[in-house]
Amino acid sequence: MARHLAVTAALWAALTAVGVWAALTADIFPVAAAREAHISDDAFRLLLVLSVPVLTFVLAALAYSVVRFRSRDGSTDAPPQREPRAVAIAWVAITSALSVAVIFTPGMSGLNELGWWSAPAPDLVVQVQAEQWDWSYTFPQYGVTFSKARELPLPVGRKIRFEITSVDVIHSFWIPAFRMKMDAVPGIVTTFTVTPDRLGSFEDAPVYRVQCAQICGTGHPRMATRLVVLTPADFESRLAKARDGG
């Protein structure tokens, strides 16, 4: 019995080492262009790393059992086994504790970092209006509206609060480069705050876009806007041009 456990544990440790290395180094994320995107990516990476020992535990026990306890005399079944009660209790206790732990980190701690409960005062407000099948953006501090916009300009390094609503059905305001998404619901205003931290545009990487992420009719897949993250100076001149009718 001790030998079975020792071999399985060694196999588990080896698979876990390889799996954790792969989970930590794999290049799995598209371009991240906001402070919030890194928080999301870090949480995803942490959950991936935490899931490795669970997967490898099952794989190691399975692989060892298949090889070591295979039928040798042509019979198709082994006598039924009943695990010790302590093993069952430990299994439930450990997996439950892990599940509760990830609710707090990265769950609650991540939401707190994203300003879920106490959003920081924004530098810039953008009012977002969804309709079948276009996005319109108003910058109240500049008196500028991009109606049925083809492009959404934003400044880098500024705290931006989106105030999102819809005039018809439920849409979802999603910016993949920022890893943030929020429903656009008729009759109410939903919000989130982001701070872009990387210049770029749709031409650099297709994740620089606003994409509707809620089925909203036949035009749903076309309900997108190119995003361009500019220096504050370029952003100011872009908005000034729009205000003057350019």
**CB 223, min distance to ligand CUA, A:** 4
**CB 185, min distance to ligand CUA, A:** 12
The phi and psi torsions of 151 (rounded to 5 degrees) equal -145, 145
What span, in angstroms and rounded, lies between the C-alpha atoms of 107 and 116?
11
Q: Which CB, 143 or 219, lies closer to ligand CUA?
A: 219
Q: Which CB, 219 or 232, lies closer to ligand CUA?
A: 219
**CB 179, min distance to ligand CUA, A:** 19
**CB 172, min distance to ligand CUA, A:** 7
For the chain, the DSSP string reads -HHHHHHHHHHHHHHHHHHHHHHHH--------BHHHHHHHHHHHHHHHHHHHHHHHHHHHHHHHHHHT--SSS-S-PPP----HHHHHHHHHHHHHHHHHHIIIIIIHHHHHTTSSSPPPPSEEEEEEEETTEEEEEETTTTEEETT-SEEEEETT--EEEEEEESSS-EEEEEGGGTEEEEE-BTS-EEEEE-B-S-EETTT-TTSEEEE-S--STTGGG-EEEEEEE-HHHHHHHHHHHHTT-
What span, in angstroms and rounded, lies between the C-alpha atoms of 111 and 117?
8
**CB 187, min distance to ligand CUA, A:** 16
**CB 180, min distance to ligand CUA, A:** 16
By CB under 6 A, name the binding residues for ligand CUA: 130, 133, 171, 212, 214-216, 220, 223
What span, in angstroms and rounded, lies between the C-alpha atoms of 74 and 18?
36
Q: Which CB, 133 or 192, lies closer to ligand CUA?
A: 133
Return the closest-CA partner of residue 15 out of 50, 52, 65, 47: 52
Q: Which CB, 212 or 239, lies closer to ligand CUA?
A: 212
Q: Which CB, 12 or 133, lies closer to ligand CUA?
A: 133
Q: Which CB, 56 or 214, lies closer to ligand CUA?
A: 214
**CB 61, min distance to ligand CUA, A:** 45
Q: Which CB, 130 or 228, lies closer to ligand CUA?
A: 130
